[in-house]
Structure 1
Amino acid sequence: MPSVSMPDASLQPATARLRLLLRLSLAGVVFTTVVILIGVWTRLVDAGLGCPDWPGCYGRLVVPDAERAMAHSPDAPLEVFKAWVEMIHRYVASALGLLVIALLVLGAGLRRRPGYPWATSVALLIVILLQGAFGAFTVTLKLWPQVVTMHLLGGLAVLLLFLWLHLSLRRFAKGDAAPSSRRRRLTPLWGVAMLMLLLQLALGGWVSSNYAGIACQGFPTCNGEWWPEMDWSEGFHLTQTVGPNYLHGQLHADARTAIHQGHRIGALLLGLALVALAARYWKETRLRPWLGGLVIAYGVQLGLGIANVLMWLPLWLALLHTAGAVALVLLMALGLWQWRESALVADDSTRRDKEWVHV
């Protein structure tokens, strides 16, 4: 009788572990999106200082009663709703940190295998720890705009690393341990598009942290003018004083108008970069869904931004605007991944064609 090859029993635990890693990394992408939106909601309801200390709330792991809160921080009266909103954000962010640690522990046994994304896992842990530090500084420095903006960008960095880890794990599970030299390098057009997106995300965080969302009334004009009075030097003064409470902002009207207009200009530049990117690589079939998705998501995001101005920044619409930013980040990352990996697909197709001709 012909012998039947049996799967190597030593590989079965690793395969099961890899499946778990794939599920957890994908769950991390979804969970990080939720954490980002909860963080934005916390800010929009002015709950960022709902607890005056960190990591607890008035020295407790749960929101205390008013008497205990007063004994702990007499200068910061307890507002129960805001305190709970802030603590919920901290709870879910802590759970996300535990998920990162779990991914690192589960992947430790596979780290020496060729192609396993161990460096990405370690980078994810480092960034989540830095993000926790920024969360602490957000409270202790009383919503200092620089820290608040970095905290938002840090959350998006965690999201990107979760996505990149998941995609790398999928490639590893398929047995593709090809060297990075076979993957396409970043082109200047990709670099410009990514830089414009990063700049626009930072500008969005700066608008939010300085409460400049409705500094311009009306669209496409700003306060009835195409180029109103603006104080650019004060609006983008990145060494603001540490110490004051930045709840509701400290800048005067002209400075906030400059920040808002800067965000509008950034949106225009980002749109031009994305359209140019889509036009340049539209012939590549594998890239079309992601490039088309990027342009569509940008159009929706632009509409949400205009609606936020015209409707005076309602909570639900501001949250949708943040969700749109998250969608742009994910689509850009997925498009870049397809761009890099398409070189491998082309190489494999060429190799198979040559083998077929040889036969």
Structure 2
Amino acid sequence: MIEGAQRRRLRQLLALSLAGVLFTVAVILVGVFTRLVDAGLGCPDWPGCYGRLVVPDESRALAHTPEAPLEAFKAWVEMVHRYVASALGLLVIALVALGAPLRRHADYPWGVSLALLAVILVQGAFGAFTVTLKLWPQVVTLHLLGGLAVMLLFLWLHLRLRRCDRGRLAPGGVVAPRRRLTPLWGLAVALLVGQLALGGWVSSNYAGIACQGFPTCNGQWWPAMDWSEGFHLTQSVGPNYLHGQLHADARTAIQVGHRLGALALGLALLALALRHWQQASLRPWLGALLATYAVQLGLGIANVLLWLPLWLALLHTAGAVALVLAMAMAIWAWREAGTAPAQQRRAQKEWIHV
């Protein structure tokens, strides 16, 4: 059992992990803002900006990279994004260091902590590649997914720490079994991940308003589209992808693909809710999933009809973040409520014998 100084350390870890979830959401939104104001290449080098840790004046920037004139606002937006992302990395390191003394405790989520550290390091590399590869869509999309993965790992770490703090571990290190995900859960998760990737692909290829109007696209139910070019995942490295390189039909295909993905995801979430609505512990999170999806769908439609205003595009990203969090909490509730009575009795007998 965790007692005394270890429990105080655990409480500190709980606070830090929750702060990590909130901070990661902020970093994701700052990153999206950076992209929406076309500041992703505000600093042409990495990790500095024109060779410095703060944005230099125009003459020094010109001397460092004459082919990339300084735009001070965009440069500062990009550097603020780097500063907050670096601070998030330091928070992860602090969590791992603080939790290291508890790593031998049977129910302590040491593996989750190490996974979080590994993902944040990879995420830092993707941040560098975003600049050095000039907003290559593959890297930009993976960078978004990586940010969401960091947020989820912070959340999962917090939930595991909370369970550990509540003393759910029995003497002898026996952990009660938890329910596995069914194929329907797996389908819903896969469609959500796919839709998030499609959203990143829409953004990185500047296809957000490739379709005018809704529910039709450019006045047609099935407009001219170039699917092979729109989803050509081996686009060449080298060109500057600011404002995109694809032609109109390819961008239309990406936008229509995103709409079809939203429809498939909505049907899967509805089926999931209908299947498990009778379970009281799941009902709040299933309701949150459906409500968040409905809001997110409305925001997506509004972005098309209103020509992608900055504030609405940011809200659409925030909606995606909320949808991911709601799905994670629904999965957690499913797993935690899944210990069958027979399994509980068997585990209790093992604890008594220990």
- Please indicate the TM-score interval, normalised by the length of the shorter structure: over 0.9
Distance in 2, matches of 1:13 and 1:279, equals 46
Work out whether 1:141 is the aligned partner of 2:125.
no
Aligned to 1:114: 106
Query: Which residue identity lines up with residue 257 of structure 1 in the other structure?
Result: T
Greater shift in the superposed pair: 22-31 or 335-344: 335-344
Query: Which residue identity lines up with residue 202 of structure 2 in the other structure?
Result: V
Aligned to 1:213: 208
Aligned to 1:242: 237
Query: Which residue identity lines up with residue 47 of structure 1 in the other structure?
Result: A
Q: Deviations over 1:154-204 (max 9, x none)?
A: 000000000000000001111223756710011000000000000000000
Out of 152, 158, 163, the position equivalent to 1:166 is: 158
Query: Which residue identity lines up with residue 131 of structure 1 in the other structure?
Result: Q
Instruction: Check conservation: 2:145, 2:196, Cα contact below 8 A.
Output: yes
Q: What is the percentage of aligned positions where both structures have the same residue? A: 75
In the TM superposition, 1:295-314 aligns within 5 A as 295-314=290-309
Work out whether 1:151 is the aligned partner of 2:139.
no
Kindly state the Cα deviation for residue 11 of structure 1 after the two structures are TM-superposed. 3.3
Work out whether 1:224 is the aligned partner of 2:216.
no
Distance in 2, matches of 1:156 and 1:345, equals 32
Distance in 2, matches of 1:40 and 1:345, equals 43
Q: Deviations over 1:212-256 (max 9, x none)?
A: 000000000000000000000000000001000000000000000
Aligned to 1:233: 228
Aligned to 1:131: 123
Kindly state the Cα deviation for residue 343 of structure 1 after the two structures are TM-superposed. 2.0
Distance in 2, matches of 1:180 and 1:14, equals 19
Query: Which residue identity lines up with residue 16 of structure 1 in the other structure?
Result: R
Instruction: Check conservation: 2:177, 2:343, Cα contact below 8 A.
Output: no
Q: Deviations over 1:15-63 (max 9, x none)?
A: 1111100000000000000000000000000000000000000000000
Q: 1:347 to 1:102 in 2, by over 3 A?
A: farther
Kindly state the Cα deviation for residue 282 of structure 1 after the two structures are TM-superposed. 0.4
Structure 1, unmatched stretches of 5+, are: 1-7, 355-359
Aligned to 1:94: 86
Out of 193, 197, 218, the position equivalent to 1:198 is: 193
Distance in 2, matches of 1:349 and 1:24, equals 32
Distance in 1, matches of 2:64 and 2:203, equals 30
Work out whether 1:267 is the aligned partner of 2:267.
no
Work out whether 1:333 is the aligned partner of 2:328.
yes
Instruction: Check conservation: 2:134, 2:241, Cα contact below 8 A.
Output: yes
Q: Secondary structure at the match of 2:180?
A: coil
Work out whether 1:15 is the aligned partner of 2:7.
yes
Aligned to 2:285: 290
Q: Secondary structure at the match of 1:114?
A: coil
Kindly state the Cα deviation for residue 344 of structure 1 after the two structures are TM-superposed. 3.5
In the TM superposition, 1:171-182 aligns within 5 A as 171-177=163-169, 182=177
Q: Secondary structure at the match of 2:338?
A: helix
Distance in 2, matches of 1:176 and 1:348, equals 15
Q: 1:139 to 1:180 in 2, by over 3 A?
A: farther
Q: Secondary structure at the match of 2:160?
A: helix
TM superposition score normalised by structure 2: 0.95
Instruction: Report the count of equivalent residues.
Output: 346
Q: Deviations over 1:118-148 (max 9, x none)?
A: 0000000000000000000000000000000
Structure 2, unmatched stretches of 5+, are: 350-354
Query: Which residue identity lines up with residue 333 of structure 1 in the other structure?
Result: A
TM superposition score normalised by structure 1: 0.93
